[in-house]
Structure 1
Amino acid sequence: MTRRFALLGDPVRHSVSPAMHRAAFEVLGLDAEYVARRTAPDEVGPVMRSADLAGGNVTLPHKLRAARALARPSAAVRATGACNCWWRRPDGELAGDNTDVGGLRIAFSRFGFRPRGARVLLLGAGGAARAAVHALIEDGVSSVEILNRTEARARALRDRALAHASGADVPADTNRAADAVRVVAAPHAGTTYDLVLNSTSLGLAPGDPLPLELKGETDRVGFDAAFDMVYAAGETAWVRQARALGFPAAGGLDMLVGQAALSLERWFPGREAPFDAMREAAVAELARRAGSEPEDGSGAE
């Protein structure tokens, strides 16, 4: 019997998730379907519980609401309060995970960034930032400095990280890393950051301002690398600026593919997601929408 999966969000028309998962199902020979479904806030729980769906993904603006619909949330969901992947267990209960956390780890690995001992400047304090902070403190960063337009929201993110890390089941090194999460009004002059990480949505729309004007900061602050969680056909303007200034930079495509691959492995235990095929499908779909054909699958953040 065909297993059906759906992406829930609003909007969903822009998503490349259907292209990625359909490519994966074909490679693995799975009898499964994946569709994007525009979903209103009050529909999220009922749709997740509907008998015709075996599971799916959740995107903006419903990740927090989806987490509340779960009977069996993962540790990452409990820590972040957000769910982007759910599935129906054999007993009928809904389980869920935040595979954005693991997706970011995959992207960091492919980029060559190792969080342990690193000093990170994080731009933004929304849902993507929750996943980023959780991954970074679990992986042993030296510090995370949160720079956000609304300071209260940044402090709420920091407080959540501290509250989770103080739990009895959390390793001591994770607790120490959480203590190093700080809110800043600007990058500290004279500091060299191992990574500046954009978790805002700036860069999704043409004409968006840059999340941080790197050119104006490099006279007083050092950056060893930049990572943009936004993905686009080609590179975002922020990634282009970082590379023009001479330091390594990457966009969010590998994170996107990574979270999708991990989602598939939650739905089909024992199966290894075909990362390369999923990435190629995402690149092709992004290029199609941009009105150009991809030269190859590399560097298309």
Structure 2
Amino acid sequence: MPSRLAVWGDPIAHSRSPQLHAAAYRLLGLDWTYDRRQVDAAGFGEALRGLDDSWRGLSLTMPLKEQAFRAAEEHDRHAELTGAVNTLLLGRRLSGFNTDVGGLVDAFTEAGVTGIGSARILGAGATAASALVAAADLGAERIEIRARRPEAAVHLVGLGERVGVRTSVTAFTEPASAADLTVATLPSGTVLDDATADALAAHGGVLLDAAYAPWPSALAARWTGGTVLSGLEMLLHQAVRQIRIFRYGTQETLLPGEAALIEVMRSALS
């Protein structure tokens, strides 16, 4: 039975996914291995073709989510909506999934965030698309996208229309209205100027910053508007959904003793 798995991306040395998966596999009694490998966008196709029958699946991070979407022969709903795949299940058909959306929903729900009316997303890449769909799944009726280049986020307005949410795009420096939650999808190490960061922090509600190294991020350190969640919470919950896929072929079937499993995985990050 295929038992090899890994996370691919570039860079990849910082990834905490091997710790999460190894802890879960031990508790579940699964004789699986999970490694990390540096693979860039140009080398993704060749690396994928080089896998043999011992491989069960892959986790994908930047900059490979769009390449994985194109490689997959079938997609789940969240992958189809976002055009991004962070999980590949290998087999007779190459199946692509997006567990970032559900991972965000689970992280916010665990923190007591449900039934929101508005959300703000910082950034315009693949994770921003997942954050938009997650906010819609949490009930948001209005979503504001903030991007350094607003023209780069126009596609997210169309995505908002597809999920039935009024979506606008603006620059970082525009005045900030109140939002129930904020998802920052900016690259690790991004530092906004103090005035911009403080305005977002004062009116942004609960913050989940997808960056987790270093932590706290510059934005999280200035946040005054509500609870702050590290990107490790998103990483944890999307990994739980990946393990469901690797075991059952779907992210909807719960793992045995999942609540205890989550705590074991969280401890592995400490």
Tell me the TM-score normalised to structure 2 length.
0.87
For residues 34 and 176 of structure 2, what CA distance do their matches in structure 1 show? 49
For residues 193 and 148 of structure 1, what CA distance do their matches in structure 2 show? 16
SS at match of 2:5: strand
* Cα deviation digits, residues 77-106 of structure 1 (max 9, x gap): 1111110001124xx111110100111011
Are 1:107 and 2:107 matched, yes or no?
A: yes
How many Å apart are 1:188 and its aligned residue? 6.5
* Cα deviation digits, residues 181-238 of structure 1 (max 9, x gap): 111235775732212321111xx23xx413875664279x633332212123652232
- Give the one of 234, 239, 244 matched to 2:220: 239
| Identity level (%) | 29
Unaligned 5+ segments in structure 2 are none
The one-letter amino acid of 2:220's match is V
Are 1:209 and 2:191 matched, yes or no?
A: yes
* Cα deviation digits, residues 4-29 of structure 1 (max 9, x gap): 00111111111111111111111111
* Cα deviation digits, residues 126-170 of structure 1 (max 9, x gap): 1110100111223320200111001111112222443xx1xxxxx
Question: Is the contact between residue 59 and residue 88 of structure 2 (CA under 8 Å) also seen in structure 1?
Answer: yes
- Based on CA coordinates, which of the two structures has the bigger radius of gyration? 1
Question: Is the contact between residue 120 and residue 144 of structure 2 (CA under 8 Å) also seen in structure 1?
Answer: yes
In structure 2, the residue matched to 1:229 is 210
In structure 1, the residue matched to 2:269 is 282
SS at match of 2:186: coil
Question: Is the contact between residue 123 and residue 211 of structure 1 (CA under 8 Å) also seen in structure 2?
Answer: no
For residues 93 and 8 of structure 2, what CA distance do their matches in structure 1 show? 19
- What is the total number of aligned residue pairs between the two structures? 260
- Give the one of 254, 258, 262 matched to 2:241: 262
Question: Is the contact between residue 226 and residue 249 of structure 1 (CA under 8 Å) also seen in structure 2?
Answer: yes
Question: Is the contact between residue 107 and residue 252 of structure 1 (CA under 8 Å) also seen in structure 2?
Answer: no
In structure 1, the residue matched to 2:121 is 122
In structure 1, the residue matched to 2:55 is 53
SS at match of 2:269: helix
RMSD: 2.4
Counterparts in 2 of 1:62-101, with a 5 A limit? 62-89=64-91, 92-101=92-101
Counterparts in 2 of 1:8-23, with a 5 A limit? 8-23=8-23
Question: Is the contact between residue 200 and residue 211 of structure 1 (CA under 8 Å) also seen in structure 2?
Answer: no
For residues 43 and 200 of structure 2, what CA distance do their matches in structure 1 show? 46
Are 1:143 and 2:142 matched, yes or no?
A: yes
Question: Is the contact between residue 172 and residue 196 of structure 2 (CA under 8 Å) also seen in structure 1?
Answer: no
The one-letter amino acid of 1:251's match is S
Structure 1 residues 247 and 139, CA gap change in structure 2 (3 angstroms): closer
Counterparts in 2 of 1:17-32, with a 5 A limit? 17-32=17-32
Question: Is the contact between residue 12 and residue 37 of structure 1 (CA under 8 Å) also seen in structure 2?
Answer: yes
Question: Is the contact between residue 214 and residue 241 of structure 1 (CA under 8 Å) also seen in structure 2?
Answer: no
Structure 1 residues 75 and 215, CA gap change in structure 2 (3 angstroms): closer
For residues 230 and 218 of structure 1, what CA distance do their matches in structure 2 show? 17
- Give the one of 189, 193, 196 matched to 2:179: 193
Unaligned 5+ segments in structure 1 are 166-173, 284-301
For residues 227 and 240 of structure 1, what CA distance do their matches in structure 2 show? 12
Question: Is the contact between residue 211 and residue 231 of structure 2 (CA under 8 Å) also seen in structure 1?
Answer: yes
For residues 200 and 143 of structure 1, what CA distance do their matches in structure 2 show? 21
Question: Is the contact between residue 79 and residue 161 of structure 1 (CA under 8 Å) also seen in structure 2?
Answer: no
Structure 1 residues 253 and 212, CA gap change in structure 2 (3 angstroms): farther
For residues 71 and 267 of structure 1, what CA distance do their matches in structure 2 show? 17
For residues 126 and 151 of structure 1, what CA distance do their matches in structure 2 show? 12
